[in-house]
Structure 1
């Protein structure tokens, strides 16, 4: 039954991807493309723009949703994800430093810079959590948001002094409109890390139960923590380098799946990846439709949805506590 449901979910995701291919300013007839009668311009639009964009959306959505799940497991908090832990702001600072050091640096170099800064920022966030008393679970994301605000302020100050505010704004919002063939392939590395997270799913599930418990079961807690942080930082960096910041995705999808299916990562990670990819596709199509022929960045659409869902989770928790 579970396999059948996964197959149906993949079919639904494929239908969304197909719809994304034929949605945009340039009109492309699905029948003409499928029958092979489309003109050269239409085929160029499909293969150089629409296909790379659709693949990038799905890879980014799946990777960020899984990264959010890992962060929640490692921090043992349902309100944590890359955009509420200072990770994306740290990756943005790394991108800015890469542009300052070498403006012509290849994409892989920028991603490595962003990954290193994202890893450092996430490690700093977890170190702060260990050193301050947290009387409420809601305090954890608030600490992350404040840390992210400080890091972003540093980035803005540097960018302002060096007249690079436009460069900073370029990767501040998740926008896939500029994704073309040859400019998104770094996301496949994020996909490989997502698969690695699934392979180590049982270990991450044990790590989420706490250091003492997992160590007693023979798990090297620090090693799995480091591995999880590397996955989160590199996936986040690959998305920031390609399209910019996509907020709250790692908050929405893991919580919805957890409500429906529990917390076993071996069981839930495929669903989290599929729903993450589908949600990003839907938000991107909404952004292309609402004010057509102009576009709303997918990061802006998810920011609205994610903020509302964040408030819902907080109010839901308070209602249960009462």
Structure 2
């Protein structure tokens, strides 16, 4: 697909997202000054659509970076324990600082996500290098251990219901005044873009990138910190969204190649398109009721993930 078509598709889906929902919002109503439609548009539809675009782009680019730096097509924020670590951080704050601000929770999510990915990086150095599936499978088990700890604490302190409410990816509750933290992803995108050339070189491997004058380990620490910051802000605002960081980067690679610097923007756009489509389906499938977008992403993303696995096997 031509790049211009992707931009056009993103624009069309953005417009659809702004005007699809249980309560009708129309361009005519907005132009005529209908107060109810104007309030719905400003307070719910616009925040929701912006959140979808930023979340889809951040999780997809984050997955692309993980795959590039770790030289493995099946790793992402969700398969190396990063998101599970962030959830554990939020849970601990909920237990011991129940009246804490969103900023405190986001800081805890970032710190735990960053520590989690650094721990997994250390673990990955002692894993066998033969089969590329060993790394993501180990990451899933690592994440499950952290998730089990979080579940135990949630039951122990009787906050299971509170935890389950934000674990499931859902944009229905996104409203003006409660979603703005997701704008953290914008400076994260900008910084990652300026580091794009170094990230591309780092993907060649530690030895080769060091020979080219790059401090590979320091770059990893900086880049993973940025990914942890962006991803944890998405988790805190809209919950967990499965498969996005694995599927989208692989689909982009199929069509546009593996050069990170050249495909970072396309990966973000593709991720935003994918999440917008899933969210629109979630809103209209059983209207006037709504399915959590994580369920739709899980079904479609899971099917695409199986396709990628079978394609790898055939190759």
Partner Cα separation in structure 1 for residue 117 and residue 303 of structure 2:
24
Counterpart for residue 94 of structure 1: 89
Partners of 1:7 and 1:312 lie apart in 2 by 26
Q: Is the 8 A contact 2:68 2:260 kept in 1?
A: no
Measure the CA separation in 2 of the matches of 1:76 and 1:194. 21
Retained in 2: the 8 A contact 1:60–1:239?
yes
Q: CA deviation at 1:38?
A: 4.2
TM-score (norm 2): 0.97
1:268 is the counterpart of 2:263 = yes
Encode CA deviations 1:56-102: one digit per residue, 9 max, x unaligned.
Answer: 11011111111001111121100001111111111111110121232
Secondary structure (helix, strand or coil) at the match of 1:83 reads coil
The alignment yields a C-alpha RMSD, in angstroms, of: 1.4
Report SS of the residue matched to 2:284: helix
Cα distance in 1 between the residues matched to 2:307 and 2:193? 28
Listed as ranges, the matches of 1:23-42 within 5 Å are: 23-33=20-30, 36-42=31-37
2:81 is equivalent to residue 50 of structure 1: no
TM-score scaled by length of structure 1: 0.94
Question: For the residues of structure 1 that align with 2:229 and 2:217, how far apart are their CA atoms?
Answer: 18
Equivalences for residues 237-276 of structure 1 within 5 A: 237-276=232-271
Q: Distance in 1 between matches of 2:291 and 2:145?
A: 27
Do the aligned partners of 2:59 and 2:244 also contact (CA within 8 Å) in 1? yes
Deviation of residue 7 (structure 1)? 4.3
Q: Which runs of 5+ in 1 are unaligned?
A: none
Structure 2: how far apart are the matches of 1:24 and 1:114?
Answer: 31
Moved beyond 3 Å, runs of 4+ = 5-8
Asked whether the 8 Å contact 2:127–2:135 carries over to 1, the reply is no
1:150 aligns with 2:145: yes
Aligned mates of 1:125, 1:304 — CA distance in 2: 27
CA contact under 8 A between 1:138 and 1:314: conserved in structure 2?
Answer: no
CA–CA separation in structure 2 for the residues paired with 1:296 and 1:317 = 32
